[in-house]
Amino acid sequence: MKISKTQRGRAVNKEELIVGIDVAKTKHFVRILFSDGSESAPFGFLNIREGFEALLSWVSSFRRRFNNPHVIVGLESTGHYWESLAFFLDGITGITLVQVNPSHVRRTKDLYDNSPGKTDSKDAGVIAMLIRMGKYHPMVLPRGPFADLRGFAKLREQKVVEFGVQRNILHSIVDVIFPEYGSVFKKLEEKTSLHILKTFTTPARIVEAGIQRITAELRKASHGQLSEAVARALVEAATHTVGLTEGIEANVFAITRSVESIERIQGDIEAIEGKLIEVLQRVSYATRLSSIPGMGPVSLAVILGETGDMLRYRRAEEVIKLAGLNLFEISSGKHKGQKHITKRGRALLRKCLFFAALRMVKKRGAFREDYCRLTQENQMHKTKALVALSRKLLRVLFAMVRDGSVYQQRGIELA
């Protein structure tokens, strides 16, 4: 639903029922704020269909009492417990679904009853109060391919985190038993390196295998890219290693398990990325967005999964705010503060935009000229320039969806 900032301010002056819901794992609490400022007693309902229907029945009883007014239902968009309820309520006639920032709820609870106390029923009242003040955002729920894209994007990010954990574990063990290994293989998680670690594991086994066998294994794992020189360097490093030999059995077991975990996670990520690309093809405007030089299909899939259908937004600023890329400054008197991004938004969306912008500033990338101008002419720090280009990328994507156009290399002002 498209709601402007002005419309949010007007909404609080109408004869509407404002419903604030504090969500939890098993039981939610709700309160209704009436037009005269009074509120209902808290009502609790279970996180099951019968509970949701009880909520509707409870709200309907107040609607009948007040001549069937429109209802604004607000949820605190934290965790994942709100999702089932939000999809249940979305689309019901007479109900507008909105979301409230969790940080606003935390910072406003003292205004509610002049007390720092926190209870579920109080939070429901605070949420309703924030809606009355117009401090809410429209809720854009992902549906169709966008729901699948968000699910796969979330799963991929979980696997990426798992991969990082296992990679660090592997590094910590190899650094103890074979610290020289990193001088031969710069990235332990590469396929050839994992094959060597899984096959030989310890420096002693590498020395025992000898140059000829190591060479054969290297060529097999790297499809002929690595030669005997690498095998010689590896055997030489293993021969003179200062790695520990005490507790070697436990370390061998740990390395083997870690390598297996990394290979499994890499396979999972590859499969998930394949599904992302497959689902992306179901988005009508995905092909147009892919015309941006440097925009990969996986990055585009994650971005659309996080934003949902961009046609449901009125302005690019709404999507920028969703990503937490909107700017703020702290100034007072003669002091003029620097501008920073708020980081109050979807962290995965912000991360994906940053890395997408990073690829686009490379040679023949869409934003190469902009990046050079910002860093060289404007003397902007490289990281800040990439953040600025992340904002630009989101604006470009929004404009292409809005106008039904393909990408054209041209100057677009940065906001």
* 11 pLDDT higher than 70: no
Cα separation values, 377 from 339, 370, 372, 392, Å = 19, 10, 7, 18
pLDDT one-digit tens code per residue, 203-262: 999 999 999 999 999 999 999 898 899 999 999 999 999 999 999 999 999 999 999 999
pLDDT for res 320 = 94
What's the rounded Cα separation, in Å, for the pair 412 and 292? Answer: 14
Neighbours of 268 (CB within 10 A): 16
pLDDT one-digit tens code per residue, 115-151: 888 888 899 999 999 999 999 988 888 999 999 999 9
Same domain assignment for residues 33 and 158: no
Same domain assignment for residues 112 and 181: no
Angle at the Cα of 88 (from 86 to 104), degrees rounded to 5? 15
Length of the chain: 415
* 19 pLDDT higher than 70: yes
In-domain check, residue 47: yes
Domain residue limits at 37: 5-139
Same domain assignment for residues 377 and 300: yes
pLDDT for res 411 = 45
Of the candidates 251, 277, 303, which is a domain's last residue?
Answer: 277
In-domain check, residue 284: no
Neighbours of 27 (CB within 10 A): 14
In-domain check, residue 415: no
Same domain assignment for residues 155 and 270: yes
Same domain assignment for residues 305 and 390: yes
Instruction: Return the percentage of the chain with pLDDT > 70, whole number.
Output: 93
CA-based torsion, 114, 120, 125, 126: positive or negative:
positive
pLDDT for res 339 = 80
Number of domains in the chain: 3
In-domain check, residue 170: yes
Q: Which helix (H) or strand (E) holds 19?
A: strand 17-22
In-domain check, residue 371: yes
pLDDT for res 77 = 79
Same domain assignment for residues 260 and 309: no
Same domain assignment for residues 177 and 101: no
Q: What are phi and psi of 338, to 5 degrees?
A: -80, 155
pLDDT one-digit tens code per residue, 23-80: 999 999 999 999 888 999 999 999 999 999 999 999 999 999 988 899 999 998 778 8
Same domain assignment for residues 307 and 374: yes
pLDDT one-digit tens code per residue, 227-239: 899 999 999 999 9
| End-to-end Cα distance, the chain | 25
In-domain check, residue 409: no
Mean predicted lDDT score pLDDT of the chain: 90
The CATH number of the domain holding residue 14 is 3.30.420.40
Instruction: Return the percentage of the chain with pLDDT > 90, whole number.
Output: 74
pLDDT one-digit tens code per residue, 281-307: 999 999 999 999 999 999 999 999 999
The CATH number of the domain holding residue 179 is 1.10.287.4070
CB 217 within 8 A of CB 182: no
Cα separation values, 332 from 68, 327, 338, 339, 340, Å = 47, 17, 12, 14, 16
What's the rounded Cα separation, in Å, for the pair 409 and 300? Answer: 18
With b meaning 16 or more CB within 10 Å and e meaning fewer, what string describes 370-404? bbeebbeeeebeeebbbbbbbbbbbbbbbebbeee
